[in-house]
């Protein structure tokens, strides 16, 4: 149904796609994977009409698409794309967002809100989703927003739907609903292109998979013929070692951080301990209160009750600075929102906490620069220089800068919230390696992750939360996806 032939695209002088071919049949679910920067998004943005290819043809349903087609033209022929970062007008209603720029009108030109709501409700119903079209977008959960985005795509009588990392914000249950929906769309003859870093999902949901590497096509395979491991190897062009974590072997009495009885509106008497050198995981569904718990520990959220002990001594944490003084570190979930100052350079971003821990009014350029250089070396941050703006780095390298900030601060307890979200396979392995090194040096590590394979790969012990409570604790040796899901859903 869709055939893209010999697509080339350059940005400035760098060619990012080298004569890539990409085909999708009617009703087919085609996975698309590759490391960050492999060209997946660029290829799909060309398909969605956001970028124009330099050369090559796009044929859809036996019609050649003109080279400079706009996103709206693409949507009219039946190609829609759901972007990784959802773009909504938060203050408008669900219905208004679905029919943005295409609102049904009265002959007078005024918008027919009644019909718009009814149409929106009909589409949402088709998706089996109970969302009131009159609700404002900002009141919805992320998973619901995702559904609205799909509803919007379908409202165009879509025949080919591109989804870019649709599950990165979803919980396991919501992901399952999404997969059912994709299968359903496919059964109706709608083709789906599914972009994801989570290879297991691609294997689970897709019929075929296309692998890109450095802007070139590497392989097109039937998913029945490959494993996630094979795909990872194709993507990075080498064999990826998937190691499984073993149980914590250090001193069980060397408790670095103890948290007791934390309660607020969401959390209900949560407590845990993490030892020096231990890698402790927090699993659970989105909304289980894991991030909120970490924010309490770090002084960002004020709890009703709760105590924090560092090395057995109770301390009071009222602000991030108190936490920093107690040698805590917190690599946050959303590096763009809370982790990095994107418009500043690597050197500044990695020194912010360091500067606060050192005395003096001036920043001492030499020390700061040496710090940054050391981190670039140690974490293998790929950049032109420490003076490069963080906004120009890839996701994986940005994450490393966010990490560098806390390494330089000398954190003895390091909390990492979704440490590899939006990070490609290669950089992900590097980050795991760094985490293991830190643990070996005696840093107590707490990892919050919604990515189960990640938890299995790296954590020596896992605490599972459900709706503000700890529902289970598992050592690495007892760990399995099924057991974690069992506690996470608290059935």
Binding site residues, other proteins, CB under 8 A: 12-13, 298, 300, 319-321, 323-324, 330, 332, 337-344, 348, 351-353, 355-356, 360-363, 365, 405
Judged by CB, which is closer to other proteins: 401, or 456? 401
Judged by CB, which is closer to other proteins: 91, or 362? 362
Least spacing, CB of residue 258 vs other proteins, in Å: 22
Judged by CB, which is closer to other proteins: 133, or 299? 299
Contact 206, 434 (CB under 8 A): no
Instruction: Look at residue 315 and give its three-state secondary structure.
Output: strand
What is the distance between the alpha carbons of residues 142 and 168, in angstroms, rounded to a whole number?
A: 10
Least spacing, CB of residue 338 vs other proteins, in Å: 5
What is the distance between the alpha carbons of residues 205 and 368, in angstroms, rounded to a whole number?
A: 47
Least spacing, CB of residue 196 vs other proteins, in Å: 27
Judged by CB, which is closer to other proteins: 89, or 321? 321
Contact 464, 474 (CB under 8 A): yes
Judged by CB, which is closer to other proteins: 224, or 361? 361
DSSP string, 449-475: -S-HHHHHHH-SEEEEEETTEEEEEEE
The H or E element containing residue 245 is none
Judged by CB, which is closer to other proteins: 240, or 320? 320
Least spacing, CB of residue 366 vs other proteins, in Å: 12
What is the distance between the alpha carbons of residues 453 and 297, in angstroms, rounded to a whole number?
A: 26
What is the distance between the alpha carbons of residues 67 and 308, in angstroms, rounded to a whole number?
A: 60
Strand 469-475 to 305-310 pairing: unpaired
Q: Tokens 């929906």 label which residue?
A: 181
Least spacing, CB of residue 335 vs other proteins, in Å: 8
Q: Tokens 């002959």 label which residue?
A: 107
Least spacing, CB of residue 409 vs other proteins, in Å: 9
Ordered strands of the 63-64 beta sheet: 14-24, 2-11, 55-60, 63-64
Least spacing, CB of residue 321 vs other proteins, in Å: 4
Least spacing, CB of residue 195 vs other proteins, in Å: 23
Q: Find how far residue 433's CA is from the centre of its chain.
A: 19
Based on C-alpha coordinates, what's the Rg of the chain? Answer: 24
Least spacing, CB of residue 363 vs other proteins, in Å: 5
Q: Tokens 């001594």 label which residue?
A: 313
Judged by CB, which is closer to other proteins: 159, or 348? 348
What is the distance between the alpha carbons of residues 359 and 364, in angstroms, rounded to a whole number?
A: 11
Quick one: which of 416, 163, 189 has its CA closest to 281?
416
Judged by CB, which is closer to other proteins: 309, or 320? 320
Judged by CB, which is closer to other proteins: 99, or 406? 406
């Amino acid at each position: 149904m869709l055939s893209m032939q010999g697509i080339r695209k350059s940005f400035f002088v760098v060619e990012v796609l080298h004569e890539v071919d990409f085909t999708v049949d009617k009703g087919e679910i085609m996975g698309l994977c590759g490391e960050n920067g492999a060209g997946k998004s660029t290829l799909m943005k060309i398909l969605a009409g956001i970028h124009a290819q330099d050369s090559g043809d796009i044929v859809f349903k036996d019609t050649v698409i003109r080279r400079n087609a706009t996103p709206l033209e693409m949507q009219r022929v039946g190609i829609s794309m759901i972007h990784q970062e959802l773009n909504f007008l938060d203050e408008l209603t669900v219905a208004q967002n679905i029919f943005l720029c295409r609102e049904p009108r009265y002959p007078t030109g005024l918008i027919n809100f009644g019909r718009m709501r009814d149409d929106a409700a009909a589409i949402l119903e088709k998706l089996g989703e109970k969302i009131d079209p009159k609700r404002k977008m900002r009141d919805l959960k992320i998973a619901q927003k995702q559904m609205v985005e799909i509803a919007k795509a379908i409202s165009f009588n879509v025949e080919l739907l591109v989804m870019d990392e649709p599950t990165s914000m979803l919980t396991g249950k919501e992901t399952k609903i999404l997969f059912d929906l994709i299968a359903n769309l496919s059964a109706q003859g709608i083709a789906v292109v599914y972009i994801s870093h989570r290879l297991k999902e691609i294997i689970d949901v897709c019929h075929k998979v296309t692998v890109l590497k450095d802007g070139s096509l590497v392989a097109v395979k039937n998913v029945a013929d490959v494993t996630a491991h094979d795909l990872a190897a194709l993507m990075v062009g080498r064999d990826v070692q998937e190691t499984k974590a073993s149980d914590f072997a250090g001193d069980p009495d060397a408790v670095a951080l103890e948290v007791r009885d934390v309660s607020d509106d969401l959390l209900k008497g949560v407590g845990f301990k993490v030892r020096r050198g231990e890698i402790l995981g927090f699993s659970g569904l989105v909304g289980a209160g894991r991030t909120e718990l970490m924010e309490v520990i770090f002084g960002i959220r004020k709890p009703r009750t709760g105590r924090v002990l560092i090395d057995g001594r109770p301390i009071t944490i009222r602000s991030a600075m108190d936490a920093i003084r107690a040698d805590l570190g917190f690599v946050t979930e959303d590096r763009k929102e809370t982790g990095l100052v994107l418009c500043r350079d690597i050197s500044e971003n990695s020194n912010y906490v360091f500067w606060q821990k050192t005395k003096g009014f001036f920043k001492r350029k030499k020390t700061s620069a040496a710090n940054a250089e050391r981190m670039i070396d140690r974490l293998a941050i790929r950049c032109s220089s420490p003076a490069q703006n963080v906004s120009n780095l890839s996701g994986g390298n940005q994450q490393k800068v966010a990490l560098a900030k806390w390494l330089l601060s000398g954190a003895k307890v390091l909390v990492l919230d979704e440490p590899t979200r939006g990070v490609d396979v290669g950089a992900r392995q590097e980050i795991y390696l760094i985490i293991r090194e830190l643990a070996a040096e005696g840093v107590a590590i707490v990892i919050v992750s919604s990515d189960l394979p990640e938890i299995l790969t790296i954590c020596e012990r896992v605490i599972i939360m459900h709706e503000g409570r700890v529902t289970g604790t598992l050592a690495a040796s007892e760990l399995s996806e099924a057991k974690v899901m069992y506690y996470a859903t608290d059935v």
